[in-house]
Amino acid sequence: MNTRTSLLVAVFALGATTVAGAAAPKTVEISAKDFAFTPAVVTLKAGQPVTLKLVATQGAHGLQAPEIGLDKVVTITSKPTEVTVTPKKAGTFVEHCALFCGAGHANMAITFKVVK
């Protein structure tokens, strides 16, 4: 193997590593406070696994979104919780906070836009 071949092999190996890394679910950070989710609108891709990293910066909240594959209520506290989901169908889904959190609870919502 001459120097040029070695270099090509090295570049190929690097490329393969990058491709493998891209296959891992991307992470979307969602924070919750009294009484809002940030971001308020999250765009996801149908059929593509995504890890939601949920953390509360104030109070304790909850999220349940069966339309994107989050079937059980996840409690959101100051300790980050990661949950990986795969949205199956495209559409716009509005979910409300799933844990009573106070005066603004009823208006605390997040919108998931699932695109094809």
Q: Is the dihedral of CA 42, 67, 98, 51 positive or negative?
A: negative
Q: Sketch the per residue contact string, 44 through 83, with Cu ion: x for CB under 5 A, - otherwise.
A: -----------------x----------------------
Contact residue for Cu ion among 108, 110, 112, 114 (CB under 5 A): 108
Query: Residue 91 in contact with residue 114, Cβ under 8 Å?
Result: yes
- By C-beta, is 52 or 101 nearer to Cu ion? 101
- By C-beta, is 54 or 97 nearer to Cu ion? 97
Shortest distance in whole angstroms from residue 76 CB to Cu ion? 8
Enter the DSSP assignment of 76. E
Query: Residue 46 in contact with residue 89, Cβ under 8 Å?
Result: yes
- By C-beta, is 12 or 100 nearer to Cu ion? 100
Considering the rule CB under 5 A, would residue 85 count as an interface residue with Cu ion? no
Place of tokens 């509360």: 56
CA distance 65 to 61: 14
Contact residue for Cu ion among 44, 101, 110, 114 (CB under 5 A): 101
SS3 10: helix
